[in-house]
Amino acid sequence: MSEERPMLELSGVVRVFEQAGTRLEVLRGASLAVRPGELVGLVGPSGAGKSTLLHIAGLLERPDEGTVRIGGIDASKLDDAKRTEIRRGAIGFVYQFHHLLPEFSAQENIVLPQMIAGLSKREATERARQLLAMVGLEGRASHRPARLSGGEQQRVAIARALANAPGLLIADEPTGNLDPHTAEGVFAMLTKLVRGARVGALIATHNLELAQRMDRVLEMRDGVLVEHA
Ligand code: ADP
Ligand code: MG
């Protein structure tokens, strides 16, 4: 397994925010690799830079220094259009708050990214139905997000993130907004789907107990990543 090319590779990532004359060095040379099918946890106190790192890894933002490789491709050398194409096709992102489109049904929220990627409505709908069944929500297909519980919203968000069969899933505290029992169920579902599809995953969580169930845990400390004991 360690011979396989990483799905995600960060090397020497630096990110500095300048605000009102102060320099905040959030990332100071963060490096990591996530291999196909590997689940990597990301922990660290609030404000440590986890979200900043995940946004850079997910090609939502660019680092000030360092490289981001997705499936071996150096994304720092690409223009925005090409980065967007990779982000849409190769990366699924799950946020703490579902970020589903409120005007669309659960099923439509899973259909849309596939149609943007070029699938026909029929194919996208078929896959959306399969994904909804996989997350146990076949009975909620026509519900809008506001009519779903928090746990259901996150399960739809997970299904949406997997819609284009990405090689990499990035999740930013995906159960941080849920009660412990619901969080447990959503987390178990997320890890099962990720392992089943051999997706590489980088998952930030505050919950050390959940983090310990991943293959490896990295800790953000003073802007760099260290293996969590
Ligand atoms: P975490 O996800 O670990 O809680 P974040 O990555 O959200 O941490 O934030 C790390 C630090 O960077 C925080 O101090 C935050 O206020 C700061 N920060 C994040 N984004 C910006 C931004 N766009 N501009 C200025 N400061 C930011
Ligand atoms: Mg965060």
User: For helices 121-134 and 150-161, what crossing angle results, to 10°?
Assistant: 130
Instruction: Give, for ligand 1, the residue of 16, 52, 60 to mutate: max count of ligand atoms closer than 8 Å to Cβ.
Output: 52
Q: How far apart are CA 102 and CA 181, in angstroms?
A: 25
Ligand 1 contacts CB of residue 166 (under 6 A): no
Give, using CA atoms, the residue closest to atom 7 of ligand 1: 51
Ligand 1 contacts CB of residue 42 (under 6 A): no
Pair of tokens at residue 154: 């996150």
Q: How far apart are CA 133 and CA 110, in angstroms?
A: 12
Q: Which atom of ligand 1 is nearest to the CA of 18?
A: 25
Give, using CA atoms, the residue closest to atom 16 of ligand 1: 47
Q: Which ligand is nearest to the CA of 17?
A: 1
Tens-digit pLDDT string for the chain (229 aa): 446 789 999 999 999 999 888 999 999 999 999 999 999 999 999 999 999 999 999 999 999 999 999 999 999 889 999 999 999 999 999 998 989 999 999 999 999 999 999 999 999 999 999 999 999 999 999 999 999 999 999 999 999 999 999 999 999 999 998 999 999 999 999 999 999 999 999 999 988 888 888 999 999 999 999 998 7
**pTM of the predicted structure, to 2 decimals:** 0.95
Q: Kindly list the distances between the CA atom of residue 8 and the CA atoms of 5, 16, 151, in Å, as whole numbers in the listed order.
A: 9, 22, 28
